């Protein structure tokens, strides 16, 4: 059974930095490679691009504009209103994401890939448990949820090596051999 649920409340901050800020990144516990995600309790920091990070957390802070945080070469922007976070869980989670996303989900576990799901911008975070967290811009969320719900309803989302062995063999000379293989089903 595959389920889609939303994670709230959610706070999101975007950090836009100067070009060279490696030492500051270590201090602020920010990843140094794009798509890398660092998890610490309820806080997740991910690198979206050169000198651009997104930090997710469960408490919300309010501010509307990019402001310079004293002591750090960053602009901090409160984007809590700009995103919605969903969790796709269950056996078919990876297959559903694979319907809409060209990335090899299985190969990027633990990372945060900025990509798209059927042309909905999204940040896809596959976890080793098989569940996939999806961060999507607020205005696209309803459309993407509808798409995923359709896919959940439509599936048979477990992949079958569709393979029927109920058919008799042709052998004019001897009797047909006994069945030796079971119906194949992938889990």
26 binds another protein (CB under 8 A): no
Nearer to another protein, 41 or 119 (CB): 119
CB 114 within 8 A of CB 35: yes
Taking contact as CB under 8 A, which single stretch among the options 20-28, 38-46, 63-71, 127-135 is the one that binds another protein? 63-71
186 binds another protein (CB under 8 A): yes
Kindly list the distances between the CA atom of residue 114 and the CA atoms of 59, 99, 100, in Å, as whole numbers in the listed order: 23, 17, 14
CA distance 62 to 40: 22
120 binds another protein (CB under 8 A): yes
78 binds another protein (CB under 8 A): yes
24 binds another protein (CB under 8 A): no
6 binds another protein (CB under 8 A): no
Specify burial of residue 163 (Cβ count, 10 A radius: 0-12, 13-18, 19+).
exposed
Taking contact as CB under 8 A, which single stretch among the options 23-31, 37-45, 118-126, 127-135 is the one that binds another protein? 118-126
Q: In angstroms, how far is CA 86 from the centroid of its own chain? A: 9
Selection from 91, 107, 102, 85 nearest residue 152 by Cα:
91
Least CB distance to another protein at residue 3 (A): 17
């Amino acid at each position: 059974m595959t389920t889609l649920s939303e994670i709230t409340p959610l706070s999101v901050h975007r950090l836009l930095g100067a070009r060279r800020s490696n030492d500051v990144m270590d201090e602020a516990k920010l990843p140094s490679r794009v798509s890398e995600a660092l998890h610490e309790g309820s806080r997740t920091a991910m690198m979206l691009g050169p000198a651009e990070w997104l930090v997710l957390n469960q408490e919300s802070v309010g501010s509307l504009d990019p402001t310079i945080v004293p002591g750090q070469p960053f602009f901090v922007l409160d984007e809590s209103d700009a995103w919605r976070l969903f969790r796709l869980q269950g056996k078919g989670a990876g297959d559903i994401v694979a319907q809409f996303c060209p990335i090899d989900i299985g190969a990027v576990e633990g990372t945060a890939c900025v990509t798209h799901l059927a042309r909905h911008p999204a940040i896809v975070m596959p976890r080793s448990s098989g569940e996939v967290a999806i961060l999507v811009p607020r205005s696209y969320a309803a459309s993407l949820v509808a798409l995923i719900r359709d896919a959940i309803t439509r599936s048979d989302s477990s992949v079958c090596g569709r393979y029927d062995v109920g058919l008799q063999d042709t052998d004019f000379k001897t009797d047909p051999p006994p069945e030796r293989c079971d119906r194949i089903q992938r889990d």
